[in-house]
């Protein structure tokens, strides 16, 4: 199936209209009585709340709760199906983060994120009743964060050495370095690590 066909079938299964990724981010979702961080309107890209899809699928099949990504989307070009996971480094950093806590969280991501992808792909196969549904489908697994991910190799190297000082800029660079490392270890699909504010722009270029 094409990315658009898979997205449409999952959306039909979900039984509701699509939302935007900002509504799934506890730090800025109006559903959590917060305001969007980037713009008044938030992202323009429609996504499916895949956690809810997973919950319904597990309940229907009588399964214990599986892992799942946060959202499913298709690029404006229709060329890629996107599995999206949203992680807030900003909340951790603002809550007295340390190098130890950041590394511990990244270690958790390294075990959780591959499983979230594989379980989510399995759920899509169940919904479409097609074990080969991804044969002709290009997939990208996107990890979104709410901190800047501008790449600076020197800063990234320095942050790994000086994060213990507790400087927020160093901690952010450490978060980025570790997050990229986690995504680079996932080799069954293409991966990206993006700032959430740039989601629409980055998807438009695929």
Predicted confidence at residue 151, as pLDDT, reads 56
Q: What is the pLDDT of residue 158?
A: 44
How many Cα atoms within 13 Å fall on the side-chain side of residue 83? 29
How much is the average pLDDT of 75-103?
A: 92
Q: Which residues make beta-bridge pairs with 145?
A: 87, 195
Please list the alpha-helical segments (H only) found in the chain: 3-14, 50-61, 89-94, 99-128, 153-162, 168-184, 199-204
- The distance between the two most distant Cα atoms of the chain, rounded to a whole number of Å, is 53
Asked if the model's pLDDT at residue 102 lies above 80, the reply is yes
Nearest to 85 by CA among 131, 144, 136, 138: 144
pLDDT above 80 (res 114): yes
- Pair of tokens at residue 200: 């629409």
Check if the beta carbon of residue 3 is closer than 8 Å to that of residue 160: no
Residue 202 and residue 67: Cα distance in Å, rounded? 26
- Which of these ranges, 5-14, 49-58, 158-167, has the smallest mean pLDDT? 158-167
- pLDDT tier for residue 38 given thresholds of 50, 70 and 90: low
pLDDT per residue as tens digits for the range 131-156: 999 999 999 999 999 899 975 444 44
Exposure class string for 50-69: b at 16+ Cβ within 10 A, else e: bbebbeebbeeeeeeebbbb
Mean pLDDT, range 86-94, rounded to an integer? 88
Q: Which two tokens stand for residue 12?
A: 């039909």
In the predicted model, what is the mean pLDDT of residues 34-56? Answer: 79
Average pLDDT estimate for 38-66: 87
Three-class secondary structure of residue 66 per DSSP = coil
pLDDT of residue 20: 86
């Amino acid at each position: 199936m094409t990315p658009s066909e898979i997205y449409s079938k999952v959306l039909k299964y979900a039984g509701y209209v699509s939302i935007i990724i900002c509504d799934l981010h506890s730090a800025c979702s109006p559903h959590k009585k917060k305001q969007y961080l980037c713009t008044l309107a938030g992202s323009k890209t429609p996504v499916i709340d895949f956690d809810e899809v997973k919950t319904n699928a597990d309940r229907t099949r009588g399964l214990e709760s599986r892992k799942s990504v946060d959202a499913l989307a298709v690029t404006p070009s229709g060329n890629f199906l996107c599995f999206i996971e949203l992680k807030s480094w900003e909340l951790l950093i603002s809550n007295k983060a340390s190098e130890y806590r950041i590394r511990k969280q990244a270690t958790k991501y390294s075990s959780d994120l591959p499983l979230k992808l594989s379980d989510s792909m399995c759920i899509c196969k169940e919904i479409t009743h097609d074990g080969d549904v991804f044969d002709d489908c290009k997939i990208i697994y996107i990890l979104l964060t709410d901190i800047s991910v501008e790449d600076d190799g020197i800063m990234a190297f320095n942050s790994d050495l000086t994060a213990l000082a507790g400087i927020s800029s160093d901690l952010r660079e450490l978060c980025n370095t570790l997050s990229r490392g986690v995504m680079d270890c996932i080799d069954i699909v293409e991966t990206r690590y993006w700032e959430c504010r740039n989601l629409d722009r980055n998807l438009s270029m695929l």
